[in-house]
Amino acid sequence: MRKFSFHPCGNYHENYAQELNIFETDFGRVCLGIFLTLLFFVAPFVVSPYMLYILNTIGIAAIAAIGLNILIGYTGQISLGHGAFFGVGAYAAAIMATRLGVGFYIAIPVAGIITALVGMIIGIPSGRLKGLYLTIATLAGQFIIEYVLIQWDSLTKGTMGITLPAPQIMNWQISGDKAFFFLIFVSLVLMTWFAVNIMRSKYGRAFIAIRDNDRAAEGMGIPIFKYKLLSFGISSFYAGFAGALWAYYMVSITTEPFNLGLSVEYIAMVIIGGMGNIPGAIFGATFITLLNEFLRFLTGVLMNVGAITSLGLNMAPLKEFVFGLVIVLFILIEPKGLAEIWRIIRSSFRLWPFSY
Amino acid sequence: MEFFLQLLVNGVCVGLLYGISAMGFVMIFKSSSVLNFAHGELLALGAFFFLSLVTWAKLPIIVAFILTLIGCFILGFLIERFFLRPLIGEKLIFVIMLTVGLAAMFKGFILLIWGGNLYTYPEFLPEAMGLKFGSIYIAPVYSATLIISVIFLVLFGLFFKKSAQGIYMRSVADNQKAALSLGVHVRRVFALSWAIAALVASMSGIVLGIINGVNVHDLSSIGLKVFPVVILGGLDSIGGAIIGGIIIGVLETFTGGYLSPSLRDVVPYIVLVFILMVKPYGLFGLVEIERV
């Protein structure tokens, strides 16, 4: 049994491997263990079904946000098409489940792979374009995918939508919020683990090099086009995976939700959570999902206040206004996002009583 | 043949509208390299200000028009002062997302106050402005649009080529640091360009409102249509915006007329991807040279 390590009072790394450690101290390891235990063994059994629904929504959004963070936060390529990628994943899973009758354990990963291919096609312009030109190209990708989803009637049933069968493994049927909770959060943990580790590998370092200066990265021998495509692929894999989970969870899907607004929401998650920070993406997903639910609740309450209804005011657009305001305020006040706030809180505990 | 001509004329008319809506967008990009996703909402704000002044305050058309322009000039100034100025020198994604956030705010604001209904302005353009060639008819609004776009094109051309402020703007767009070191008041240039852009946007919003009626959702979707237009014309070319607008407009009406109406709305984006792959700086844009 080795010694339980606490935070050292300086930087005592002796090799690169130590610097790449995910957990600086055993304390962090224990905290994560406790958190995961609470999440899996306590949370689903004590919270109300509505809270469980919110948790599941957060989990799905977090998977997509982690993927987008790999692309935006680590590789520096902005994609406005992730709402559509999410839709591609959802439709791929739905079509496989209804037409081919494959189980969810195949349909969901394969949906992710199909989305990764679509994402790489949309990412092809990144070979030539960067910055705002690439952003506009992905914007075009968003509209084209949306159009294809609506118009390819024979495959996607257009505006009619598709109803999925309940996912089944052996004889056990996954249905209800609690069963989905485990499916979604086990996926989220696996996906987070994968994302954290890929960022410590040579691929992650290449992504970061491309973000910081793509010309210099090329000069150092990184084939930037290949890595940009790879980043698009990984990132859309996450989006597609999340979309497929969402399709199973929602049971029936239509093309409507996968619009530009959804893409914007995901970017908002990445920015509010903190760019280039994997836990940040989870924070961002939590924040935006809770904000959406809160605003829905708030507008619902305001609709029933006599004074407002008698004035003839429609309070629903308040949701949009506040959403925009939150994005703007975060960018202006804390552009590094919730992850930075979390770091400041942690370090002020660590440095107590001399925190600054 | 007649169908073809009518489509062509319609396309050019719609295209002129796109071009005129894109001008404010190009204005902002040209001076501050900001990609403005809130452009559609700026159009809508102008259109709704005008609507309120005309129908609710019952002001004469010309007074309402001038008041709207002044209001939007100030609005653009305020947007720059409070939202864009803190972001000078920040990463691209923050600037883009800030304008996206602003777009959501404006849209929510407009919906809160005016709602999502379709409004129309009272008729005020003289019928004599309508043109008729044989069987092809051009409505008065379109000829007014043509006149306005030509006037603005000339004005802006002169402004950017001759006036000191215009030259400052171009220098800032080209290289902020160099402009600053040569004594250009960069902050003033940004403020002015946003103010002018908001003014132009409000004017385009009014023109669009006369033709299609005033509706938030329509106007903000035009704000997204602007992207293919400006990419085709070149992001920093005002003349290019008009020509790009006409090309996109004609393409749209032709696909709507000959291929399928549902394809109409996507065609600009397909063209957009194609142009980006082949000629990313557009037909008339300045090619950026990048140094490590």
Would the ipTM clear 0.90, i.e. be above it? no
Name residues whose C-beta falls within 8 Å of residue A130's C-beta, 6 or more positions apart in sequence.
Answer: A77, A214
Tally of CA atoms within 13 A in the half-sphere of B292 that contains its CB: 10
Q: Alpha carbon of B83 to those of A143, A298, B32, B190: distances in Å?
A: 28, 27, 13, 12
List, as one string, the DSSP characters of A256-295.
Answer: TT-SHHHHHHHHHHHHHH-TT-HHHHHHHHHHHHHHHHHH
Name residues whose C-beta falls within 8 Å of residue B56's C-beta, 6 or more positions apart in sequence.
Answer: none
Phi, psi of A131 (to 5 degrees): 60, -135
Q: In chain A, whose CA is at the least distance from the CA of B275?
A: A137
Q: B292 CB near a chain A CB, below 8 Å?
A: yes
Contact A78 B104 (CB under 8 A): no
Question: By the 8 A CB rule, do B95 and B34 touch?
Answer: yes
Interior CA angle at B170 toward B166 and B174, to 5°?
170
Higher pLDDT, A28 or B98: B98
Name residues whose C-beta falls within 8 Å of residue B156's C-beta, 6 or more positions apart in sequence.
Answer: B23, B27, B238
Q: How many CB pairs under 8 A join A and B?
A: 135
Kindly report the number of other CB atoms within 10 A of residue B60's CB atom. Answer: 11
B chain contacts of residue A321, beta-carbon cutoff 8 Å: 104-105, 107-109, 112
A chain contacts of residue B231, beta-carbon cutoff 8 Å: 133, 136
Residues 79-138 in B contacting A (C-alpha not used; CB under 8 Å)? 83, 86-87, 90, 92-94, 96-98, 100-112, 115
Query: Which pLDDT does position A2 carry in this prediction?
Result: 67
Query: Which pLDDT does position A1 carry in this prediction?
Result: 55
Distance of CA B265 to the CA centre of its chain: 18
Contact A317 B90 (CB under 8 A): no
3-state secondary structure of B287: coil
Question: By the 8 A CB rule, do B46 and B206 touch?
Answer: yes
By C-alpha distance, which of B136, B115, B137, B139 is closest to B125? Answer: B139
Name residues whose C-beta falls within 8 Å of residue A321's C-beta, 6 or more positions apart in sequence.
Answer: B104, B105, B107, B108, B109, B112
Query: Which pLDDT does position B131 carry in this prediction?
Result: 67
CA dihedral of residues A220, A226, A230, A231 (deg, nearest 10):
50
Question: By the 8 A CB rule, do B14 and B251 touch?
Answer: no
The conformational region for residue A79 under phi > 0 = left, psi -120 to 50 = alpha, else beta, is beta
Domains belonging to chain A, first-starting first, are: 49-350 (1.10.3470)
Question: By the 8 A CB rule, do B165 and B250 touch?
Answer: no
List, as one string, the DSSP characters of B209-258.
Answer: HHHH-B-HHHHHHHHHHHHHHHHHH-TT-HHHHHHHHHHHHHHHHHIIII
User: What is the per-residue pLDDT across B195-219, written as a single tens digit (0 to 9) for each?
Assistant: 888 888 888 888 888 877 788 888 8
Q: Residue-wise pLDDT tens for chain B (292 aa)?
A: 778 887 888 788 788 888 888 888 888 887 777 888 888 888 898 888 888 888 887 788 888 888 988 999 999 889 888 888 888 777 888 888 899 899 999 988 888 888 777 887 777 666 666 666 666 667 777 777 778 778 877 888 888 888 888 888 888 877 778 888 998 888 888 888 888 888 888 888 888 888 777 888 888 888 888 888 888 888 777 778 888 888 888 888 888 888 877 788 888 888 888 888 887 777 777 676 666 5
Query: Which pLDDT does position B130 carry in this prediction?
Result: 64
Question: By the 8 A CB rule, do B116 and B44 touch?
Answer: no
Alpha helix (H) residue ranges in B80-215:
92-114, 140-162, 164-174, 176-181, 186-212
- What is the token pair recorded at B278? 């082949």
Q: How far apart are CA B192 and CA A227, in angstroms?
A: 41
Distance of CA A191 to the CA centre of its chain: 10
Question: By the 8 A CB rule, do B133 and B67 touch?
Answer: no
Question: By the 8 A CB rule, do B246 and B15 touch?
Answer: yes
